[in-house]
Structure 1
Amino acid sequence: MTSAKSPLRIDIISDVMCPWCIIGYRQLSRALESTGTPHEIHWHPFELNPNMPPEGQDGFEHVAEKYGSTRAESEDSRARMTALGADLGFEFQWAEGFRMHNTFNTHQLLHWAGEQGRKDDLKQAFFSAHFTHRRDLSDVAVLADIASEIGLDRKEAVAVLDDQRFANTVREAEQFWQRQGIQGVPAVVFNQKHLVTGAQGVENYTNILHHLENEET
């Protein structure tokens, strides 16, 4: 598609609390694989719930409060996401007591991991930790454990969160994307000029990639 010298730049603005973010990413990955598109992915921070308290919130309560969804509607949505995830090789394990958490610390660790070329690895680990294993991503010890499990230095991960050294950097990145008009996730920007929002599906992403290929020729 694009030349080897110019891989398709893909900026993804997302939050690991967002189920549609991992679904959309897996759909995009399928499309990239099927088209053989040379690409480079850049992850960027977005907090769905920046004012979430430390203890988090029950998932059903959160969706009802934020979107006005009934429990039945939430259960239907979860079933749909579970089916979509299974088709894409990702396991959602919803259960009574599933909680949403503040993710500011996860974004700081992702920035730190990115300095070591491991942002994508940690991002995927966080998605699995939250949605498949229901681990508490507001707990510093849990975050450090997950970093360690992919081969990053656990003590340094704890230190990063203890001194909040990347707090301003993350805030600035979040504010940058908000100024670009990003109000929800997933948001995907191709070649720094084509914005696509939401989980589009493998077919739509494939069509987008073909369109971009034709644009380049």
Structure 2
Amino acid sequence: MSEPIKIDIWSDIACPWCYIGKRKFEAGSGLFAGAGDGRDVEVEYHSFELSPDTPVDFDGSEIDFLSGHKGLPAEQVEQMLERVTGIASSVGLDYDFDHLKHTNTVKAHELLHFAKANGKQLELAERLFRAYFVEGRHVGRIADLADLAAEVGLDREAALQALESEQYLEDVRADQATAGEYGINGVPFFVIDGKYGVSGAQDAQTFAQVLEQVWSERAAVTA
């Protein structure tokens, strides 16, 4: 029985392509695992802030934010969001940009490290993405984040304490420093088995092929 292939994923909760990429990777890793012989993956999320200067309580819509952030006309941003919504729908995600609450995500990243320390990182990552893109919930305020932590079985008071004390902020910064060392300047970014980088929300088949290549290389080494 071989060890699972380690997948390190740099992403941001506020990145629409990261949630889409998550679904496509899950489909690809499912194809890979379906080939049998003990094929499996182990996933760990790492912090990346797309807009670290964003206020916790942004006064405006997603169109307002992107128009200002990217310097694009509102109509063009609206067309971009419609396209992303369509792609999200193709992988089973019902994005609702009209009710999305744009916010700073550093506390969400701290919470993901807290969840990792308590064995619930994957569950929390999914919960945060869904809360942000589908449910229109706030993922920047400490109390709201603690509520979401509790929803995946984490201790709410412990989560509050970790966020208020910035217990995991250094871990967030360490992830960001590693991203810089790897030359990662956009997300999602997948590092597979510590040696292959896959950028963007690639098709499921692409992920499956890379995983199969790594599996074959491992088999060749141990043969």
User: Structure 2 length as normaliser, TM-score?
Assistant: 0.88
Q: 2: CA distance between counterparts of 1:143 and 1:64?
A: 27
The secondary structure found in structure 2 opposite 1:64 is: helix
Q: 2: CA distance between counterparts of 1:175 and 1:159?
A: 25
Matches within 5 A, 1:1-217: 4-36=1-33, 37-56=39-58, 58-95=61-98, 98-216=100-218, 217=220
Deviation at 1:87, TM superposition (A): 2.4
Q: 1: CA distance between counterparts of 2:163 and 2:53?
A: 18
Q: 2: CA distance between counterparts of 1:207 and 1:172?
A: 30
Residues 80 and 211 of structure 1: CA distance in aligned 2, closer, same or farther (over 3 Å): farther
Q: 2: CA distance between counterparts of 1:206 and 1:71?
A: 38
Residues 70 and 209 of structure 1: CA distance in aligned 2, closer, same or farther (over 3 Å): farther
Q: 2: CA distance between counterparts of 1:83 and 1:76?
A: 11
Pick which of 40-49 and 83-92 moved more: 83-92
The secondary structure found in structure 2 opposite 1:77 is: helix
Q: 2: CA distance between counterparts of 1:214 and 1:72?
A: 48
Deviation at 1:50, TM superposition (A): 1.0
Q: Which amino acid aligns with 1:51?
A: D
Percent identity of equivalent pairs = 31
Q: 2: CA distance between counterparts of 1:198 and 1:192?
A: 17
Aligned partners of 2:57 and 2:102 also within 8 Å = no
Q: Where in structure 1 are there 5+ consecutive unaligned residues?
A: none
- When the two chains are superposed, the root-mean-square deviation of aligned CA atoms in Å is 1.7
Q: 2: CA distance between counterparts of 1:43 and 1:26?
A: 14
Number of residue pairs the alignment of both structures matches: 213
The secondary structure found in structure 2 opposite 1:99 is: coil
Q: Which amino acid aligns with 1:76?
A: Q
Q: 2: CA distance between counterparts of 1:28 and 1:110?
A: 19
Q: Where in structure 2 are there 5+ consecutive unaligned residues?
A: 34-38
Deviation at 1:45, TM superposition (A): 0.5
The secondary structure found in structure 2 opposite 1:100 is: coil
Cα shift readout 1:168-189 (whole Å, capped 9, x = no counterpart):
2221221122222111110101
Q: 1: CA distance between counterparts of 2:133 and 2:40?
A: 29
The secondary structure found in structure 2 opposite 1:72 is: helix
Pick which of 188-197 and 56-65 moved more: 56-65
